Amino acid sequence: MVRITLVHGDITAEHADAVVNAANSSLLGGGGVDGAIHRRGGPEILDACRALRASQYGKGLPTGRAVATTAGKLPARWVIHTVGPVWSRDEDRSELLASCYRESLRVAAELGARTVAFPAISTGIFGWPMDDGARIAVETARAAAAAPVEEVRFVLFDEKAYAVFEAALG
């Protein structure tokens, strides 16, 4: 049985085997979670991202996919970078958001991670409404998490996000 837990805080402080980054397809950093992870994790993470760009993702990491690097100085073993969809009023991109959680959990299991910490992907700069983002996160984690992953931890930056995830968890 996989446990789903909620934490209120900064994901860069989480002790977990894998920490998921809400990246963009360039893999070269940005604001929000991405900026915080690179700042706190140090240049090793960016070096690893550059190497991935050079070897496999010359055109960038596609939306909905996930790839792992070192976690640098973070209290984690790996950072799993995933690219969430930008929220759209006109187009349903839910499947791409679900894919971020699914693919990150697949990569985590391949690495042998037992604990995986996620931010609320796409709900910041990419504009996804928190209640819908929380529903997709919880539903997908419940359906996709499998051994050796034992715990999926959602790390919510503020109290409102925490409350919305709590409601989604039921």
Q: Which residues bind ligand AR6 (CB under 6 A)?
A: 10-12, 22-24, 30-34, 36, 84, 119-126, 155, 157, 161
Task: Give least dist CB 167 to ligand AR6, A.
Answer: 15
Strand partners, 19: 79, 117
Nearer to ligand AR6 among residue 104 and residue 123 (C-beta) = 123
Residue 48 neighbours by CB under 8 Å, 6+ apart: 69, 70
C-alpha closest to that of 81 among 127, 24, 150, 36: 24
Task: Give every CB contact of residue 72 below 8 A, 6+ residues apart in sequence.
Answer: 41, 42, 43, 44, 45, 79
Nearest to 169 by CA among 115, 100, 122, 120: 120
Give whichever of 52 and 125 is closer to ligand AR6, judged by the CB atom. 125
Residue 1: CB minimum distance to ligand AR6, A? 26
Q: Least distance to ligand AR6 from the beta carbon of 130, Å?
A: 7
The one catalytic residue among 10, 17, 34, 47 = 34
Is 10 labeled as catalytic in the residue annotation?
Answer: no
Cβ closer to ligand AR6: 9 or 148? 9
Q: Point out the residues that are catalytic.
A: 34
